[in-house]
Structure 1
Amino acid sequence: SLVAVHLAQHATARVEAVSAYAAGVQCTLLSGTFSVLNNLNALSPDGRCKTFDIAADGYGRGEAHAAVYTRLFNQSTSQVSKISTNAFITLSGSSVNQDGRASTFTAPFGPSQQVLALKALAEAAIEPNDIRYVSTHGTGTSLGDPIEISAAWRTLKLGRSGACIQSMVTTVGANKSFLGHSEGS
């Protein structure tokens, strides 16, 4: 779904479309998928996702649906004020990539994640030290979570030094720890 949001936002930003919808749905209807994920040791035995926890042992599955409507607006008109009062968010920048040369097919690759974050920040014209909240993938795995949080930390401390790093205040969230992993949605 986030790739669809990225494509919709870029289509409207490049005026390929005046507006676009992006949506995703995840329903856990087939028991076979549970078996495959269980055989891969991807699922937590108790079904709970323990993101950034020493007891992390896999993820819990979740169901979800999400839809995003994006549209083009002209900053030189009064349309900006109309949109800003009705909009939930302004998506200033986004980026997509793949994990690169990770240790396994399902493992994240920190350097690729850092490049991804820096590209999105550059597109949004935001500096890493302006970030106060990071929403993570946070699957609750002992391999993936440390790689992801390390890449986020390396990205956020760019342009900072010494005491500035020590006083850095950034909140980190992980929705999968209370909603489950909604996979494709």
Structure 2
Amino acid sequence: MDNETAYKTIMEKFAYGGANKPGVYYDEENRRHLNSIKYAHAQLAESLAASGRKDSARKILEHFDENVLESNFPYGMTSNQNNLHDYFSFRFLNACYEAEDWNLAKKVAASLKKDLSQQMRYYKSLGDNISDEQLAINAQMIMQNKGGNLSDKQIEFAQDILSTYQLTMQIAEWEKQYGAKLGAPAGSGGIK
């Protein structure tokens, strides 16, 4: 990636479709475009951080956050495209960690965790009361045609169940890894 050109383009030329104005609604197509913009910010921030330019990486991430109100376009949001929205935010969160933007990481993680938790509660409500881990294991078994014990209603969400669980587990790992830097006591598991 040409960090200099990309940085200048994002900071000077990117438009955010009025996402910095309260109350703007984005339909699925426009959310897809904003996700592409969010992903471009994450990719550049990761590249800048890897080259030792963490200050510039933080500026890119914060530029997105300032131009896209979370009330208009939350970091954590269910999508009709197999958790794609949360995946882009997950990559953005990873960029926050790599850039050492701890405050923005807390904000993004909290939004993602809220959405992922709500999704798991919904998927669990469609069948027997089992743990998140057992639900994910059964979903993976279904997807691999190796059996699995899910209700008929849960089967249609098998891929979403698995991706929701995997994203949740990775966020928990990052919280353990970066907990002290995020202001959480050692061993607390991270953000509350």
The question of a shared fold, defined as TM-score above 0.5 by the shorter chain, is answered with no
Interval of TM-score (by shorter of Structure 1 and Structure 2): under 0.3
| Larger helix share, 1 or 2 | 2
TM norm structure 1: 0.27
Q: Which structure would you say has the larger RCO, counting Cα contacts within 8 Å and 6 or more residues apart?
A: 1
